Structure formats: C-alpha cells, structure tokens
A and B are shown apart, each in its own frame.
With several copies, the nearest count.
Chain A
Amino acid sequence: MLIERFDPLKGEMLRIMDEEGQIIAPDLKPDLSDERVLELYKVMLLTRAADTKALQLQRQGRMLTYAPNTGQEAAQTASAAALGENDWLVPAFRELGAWLMKGVSLETIYLYWYGNEWGSHFPENVRMLPISIPIGSQLNHAVGLAMASKYKGERDVALGYVGDGGTSIGDFSEALNFAGVFDAPVIFVIQNNQYAISVKRQIQTRAATLAQKAVAAGIPGILVDGNDLLAVYAAVSEAVERARAGQGPTLIEAYTYRLGAHTTSDDPTKYREDNEVVEWRAKDPVKRVKQYLIAQGLWSEEQDAAQSTEYEEYALEVFRKIEETGDPQVEDLFKYTYKEMPEHLEEQLSEYLQYLEGKVK
C-alpha cells in the first residue's frame, strides 16, 4: 500500500513519472492503459485551453473574475479520473480539469464564471456539488455525502478538494476528524499550489507537510507529486479503493504550483519572484505527459498543437454562445429561494417586474 510506503512525517513523496515524462518507479505505475493516459491528457489540454481562453476573454472585459488552473492540471484531472461515475466530487473552486473529467460541460463552467447561477446547475448524472467559495466548508459536505452513501449500503465514495490555504481553517480539521471517527468513505485532496492568494505555504502552517495533518485525525495521509499524473492517479485510486472497501478516509497532498495569478484580479508579481515561476514551469504537468505520450508513439507535437488550437476555438465558440444567452431571467433570481415562492417574494418580484415595465414604456 502506498500510504504505508510513503510517510509524510519523513518527508517522503510519491513520484512515478519524472519531469521529462520518464517512468522512475515502474513498480508503482498504476493500472492505467496508455490509451487512457491519452484521454486524461486531452482533458488536461482542454483545461489549459479553456484557461487560456478565459484569461483572454477576461482581459477583453467579456469574462468576469476567473480563477486559473494552469500548472495544476495533473492534480485535478488525475484525481477525478480515479472516481467512478456514481462517486461524488466536491469542489473548492480551482479544479477545472476535475470538473471536465467528471463530465461537467465547458458551457456550464464558463456560465458560472460569467456570473450566472445556472453555471452551478449540473445534469442529474453528474454527481458534483457546486463550487464552494467559503474556503474549507465543502469538506464537511463530502463527509456527509460519504456517510449517506455508507448508510444506504451503497459503494459510492466522495472526494473533496481543498487548497493549501484551506488547510488552516477549522472546517478542514473538523471534516478530517469526523471522517476518521465515522470511517466515512471519503478522500480529501489538497492541491498545495504553494500560495493562498499572496500568502506563502510557509506562512500557512509550520507543519513540514500538509499530508501530516492527517495525523491529527488518526487517518492516513500521503504526499504526492501533484504535477505527476500517474502519482496522483495511483494515490487517489488506492484511497478510493480503500474507501469503497470500508477502510475509511485518506488525506492526499498533491504538491503542485499555480503558474498563473490567483484570479484575474490578482497580480502575483507583488508577492513572488519570477525565478520561482520559471523553476516550476520546468515541472509543467502537461508537458510531462506529452513527452511520455510522444515517447510511447501515441502522440506528436503536431497533433498537440492542432488539438490545442481546436480546444481554444471550441472554448471561444462556447463562450460566444454564453455571451448571447447568459443573462439571467429576473424570475430566476426569486424562484429558487424556496421550493414554493412565499407570498412576500411573489410580491417583491411582481412589484419589481411592474417597475421594469414602467421603465420600458
């Protein structure tokens, strides 16, 4: 078991594929066909393309605040890929690759960042909660989903995401602790991207690793190279299997880096050195898998360029549609507060509609 072989208290980190896309720990390589790796890779590419496009659109004043994912695609995509269709995915707010992997459409995701609540309305068969802005609070939802699944005798697990910053808020510790006590089939994935906005990981906690925070709840924790698709997949798969088999929760720290800004409102040059970014760019998770796939003869630079372009065009097309239709109906702002609209809301809505009508005339 990986969780027994890699002790975060000893600073051990699971790595399987190195920065050049070479397999450095063949014995640990997860059961993932190269075809499947290619599938995941395409989700990573789409993630990056959607990110790139969103940033362009934001700069043009067409997209609102947006939280970029570049640099974290492996951690996101691989962790979600380890889930089954009926498993629950509980996002924080920076897991684009995971959401796409889970089956949310780019339309829906862009609509969310465009500032419309329908962007959190996923299809029935996509078992994913909406984005959770209050840091850390979503992890207890993951515990609850897992508990309900266990209670009903189903085998579905829940996976909750959180950032390095999110490990400092009480909800994080409470969720891990509840999961431990109730042996909930839940996996917690920390995307440690080294920053909470401008606050460096070292100021977030004095703990040498975030994975070791599992010790407080008496549950297993493991540190993985978050830019290594295979390592993340292997660790999360094991955790999912353990959870499904009734062996309880796991905490996984995916050690990665946010190459871009915190959000489009953020200017990272205010708080970090360029050379740090350059160093991490060399560890780019997308590049790694590309090199691996090319080495396996499954992919080429040409295909890669073409696919990226195709995805960017697709993303633009998706966004154009949203620009046309993405404004909300006034009624929708009122209709979903309760199952049935109470009288006072009916009144507020109808008064407002009357006002709008008067204004048009």
Chain B
Amino acid sequence: MALLNLISTINHTLDYEMGRDDRVVVFGEDVGVEGGVFRATVGLQEKYGADRCFDTPLAEGAIVGMAVGMAINGLRPVAEIQFSGFMYPAYNQIVSHVARMRNRTRGRLHLPLVIRMPHGGGIRALEHHSESLETILGHIPGLKVVVPSTPYDAKGLLLSAIRDDDPVIFLEPSKIYRAFRQEVPEGDYTIPIGKAKVVQEGEAVTVVTWGAYVHETLKAAEQLANEGIDAEVIDLRTISPIDRDTIIKSVKKTGRFVVVHEAMKTYGPGAELIALVNEKAFLYLEAPPTRLTGFDITIPLPRGEHHYFLDSDRIAAGIRKVVNF
C-alpha cells in the first residue's frame, strides 16, 4: 500500500501495467521526455524506453489515429490528450473509427485502446483547459467513458480500461489530481467499468454525481445530515454504459432524484439520467427529478470560473429543495 494522490496513482498504474504487459505503449504530447504536463507519465520513458513511452508531434487526430492502427496490430495503446479541450481535433477519429471499428467489421477488428485526458475545470487554467465532455462522448455508441473520483478507483478503473477489449475514454478530473491522498494497493485489482458505487447510503434522496463533484456532493450531504436529511450519494464512475440498476434501485427507495455535474446543463449528461429515472421509476417519484449543473455558457476564464462551479452550499441548497418539495 502507498499513500498516493490521483496523478501519482495514474503514473503508478501505467507503470504497473507496462511492467506486466509489454503490449502497453504510452504516448502523446510531452508524455515522454518530460513525463507529461501533469507528470502522469513521469519516469516511464526512462524505465521502459522511448519505444514504449514517447512524445508525439502536436496533432491529436494523428495521436488517436495512430492508436487505432496500433490496437489493430496487437498493441494496447494508451494515448494521452493533454487537456480535454484538445480532444476536438481527434473527434473525427474517435467517432468515426474508435467507436465503430468493431461494429463496422462485425467483430473482425476491435480496438483495445485507452484515451486518457484531464477533464473539467477548477485549476485556474487558460481557455479550453476546463472542458466537460461527458455528453459528446457518452452519446457515441461503441465508446466506454469512465471518470474516477479517487486514487483507489482510478487504479482499478484504469487497469480495467487498459485490459478492456473495447476502447475506453478515461477522463481524469484535473481539479483533484493533487487534492488528497489515499491508500492505493500496490498489487493487482480492477474495478468493473459500467458499475456505479453507492458512496453514502441514505433514504431521503438519491444524488448521482461523478469525478471531482463527488467530493463537493459528499460535503453537501454532510451539511444536510446535520439537518436530518440523509442523502444517498452515488458515484456514477462510468458515463457510458450507464449502471442503470444502481440508480433505479436507489430512486425506488428514496423517491427523489438529483443529478449534480459540472458540464453545461442543456443536452448535458444530467438530462439522460433524468430521462432514465422517468422511464424506470416514474411511479416512485415524489418530487421533480432535478439537475444541479454548470450554466449554459462557455466555462469562464479563471477570474470568473468560481461562479460556474457548484460548491457544497449550492449543492446542498438544491438537494434541500427537492427533499422539501
């Protein structure tokens, strides 16, 4: 066991899996010599050589496109996109090829590849460094989309992702890269993709969230607990495919539903979860299922970004409303 933060866990996990499986190769911009702008890949080039961990020219489309070819020819590439806002140049590759190769060839080819990227805001960075991509990736059949919220989960989920025979987009909440440490076992363990986790049990209301917002939501739940409101908090962990059972079971128990996320509201990820709850648990609902989300604006530059985020106060206020409906 080691006490690791999220970013060192990513580093440890890549190291672990590269050590175990020499089909795993890691690349992207500044990934090799420097070890990544966030230091996710630090030391890997020294340890495994420049043919297993290397820098690429600046071209996200080619990075992902190359990963496609490598995956077909027997490797398990783990590509890094430097920030989620620079995923867009690779979107054509992701939608048109990464997501479709298995279906297109009726199973003849498949793509065991992972695309990692820092995700979301909160690090006071420049424009395009704070994007939330859940919807535009989650909507695409053939992709799996994962967001860990803790170091422990990150290792288990990333190992699952690399070992998955389908492509996995691995969104890392950069806000909590260094926010806290946790005991992370040095050995092998996986956490299944597609399974949510009840991180706090409760009876009053079901609150689903993921990534950095899990922690803000748990804080809100603590506030509410002091008021006698016991919220059930679920960490979705996988954006796609959605763990419907865990959510629906909880809503059937609580009768109330709130989804909390950083992404923009309209056509955002929360909409899907509300539609799902309507489909599967409508008659159990005692209050309108509610979204607590980012505004429908471009996430502001650092001086304004705090307005965009939901802090635990705003989350608590939103949940309170649903409980008191």
- A interface residue numbers (CB < 8 A to B): 64-65, 88, 90, 114-122, 129-137, 139-149, 151-152, 158, 165-166, 168-171, 174-175, 177-178, 181, 196-199, 203-205, 265-266, 270-271, 326-328, 330, 332-339, 342-345, 348-349, 352, 355, 359
Binary per-residue interface labels of chain B (33-61) against chain A in the complex, 1 for a CB within 8 Å, 0 otherwise? 11101000000000000011001111111
Q: Does B219 contact A (CB under 8 A)?
A: no
Q: Does B322 contact A (CB under 8 A)?
A: no
* CB contact between B92 and one of A131, A134, A196 (< 8 Å): that residue: A134
- Which one of B11-19, B82-90, B198-206, B223-231 is at the A interface? B82-90
Q: Does B242 contact A (CB under 8 A)?
A: yes
* CB contact between B75 and one of A148, A271, A327 (< 8 Å): that residue: A148
Q: Does B153 contact A (CB under 8 A)?
A: no
Q: Are B93 and A137 in contact (CB under 8 A)?
A: yes
Q: How far is the CA of A116 from the CA of B60 in the complex (A)?
A: 28
Closest Cβ of chain A to B41, distance in Å, is 11
Q: Are B62 and A171 in contact (CB under 8 A)?
A: yes
Count of A-B residue pairs with CB < 8 Å: 253
Q: Are A130 and B73 in contact (CB under 8 A)?
A: no
A116-B304, A140-B93, A345-B297 known; A121+B106 contact, CB < 8 A? yes
Q: Which residues of B contact A348 (CB under 8 A)?
A: 265, 295-296
Q: Are A121 and B304 in contact (CB under 8 A)?
A: no
Leading 3 A-B pairs by shortest Cβ distance: A144-B69, A140-B65, A115-B302
Closest Cβ of chain B to A215, distance in Å, is 16
* CB contact between B141 and one of A132, A177, A326, A337 (< 8 Å): that residue: A337
Q: Does B122 contact A (CB under 8 A)?
A: no
Offer 14 A-B interface pairs, CB within 8 angstroms, sorted by A: A115-B305, A133-B96, A134-B85, A140-B61, A148-B69, A165-B58, A169-B58, A170-B61, A175-B65, A199-B33, A199-B58, A333-B308, A337-B296, A339-B110
- Of all chain B residues, which has the CB nearest A150? B51
- B interface residue numbers (CB < 8 A to A): 25, 29-30, 33-35, 37, 51-52, 55-62, 64-75, 77, 85-86, 88-89, 92-93, 96-97, 101-110, 124-129, 141-142, 144, 164-166, 194, 241-242, 244-245, 265-266, 295-298, 300-305, 307-308, 313-314, 317
Q: Are B62 and A151 in contact (CB under 8 A)?
A: no
Q: Are A174 and B103 in contact (CB under 8 A)?
A: no
| 13 additional contacts (CB under 8 A) given A144-B66, A145-B69, A338-B166 | A90-B69, A134-B128, A137-B93, A141-B97, A144-B73, A170-B59, A266-B37, A270-B34, A336-B103, A338-B241, A339-B110, A339-B164, A355-B314
Interface centre among A90, A134, A177, A332 (most CB of B within 10 A): A134
A143-B66, A158-B69, A343-B244 known; A174+B61 contact, CB < 8 A? yes
Q: Which residues of B contact A149 (CB under 8 A)?
A: 73
Q: Are A168 and B142 in contact (CB under 8 A)?
A: no
- Of all chain B residues, which has the CB nearest A178? B62
Q: How far is the CA of A118 from the CA of B104 in the complex (A)?
A: 8
Q: Which residues of B contact A141 (CB under 8 A)?
A: 65-66, 68-69, 72, 97
Q: Are A142 and B69 in contact (CB under 8 A)?
A: yes
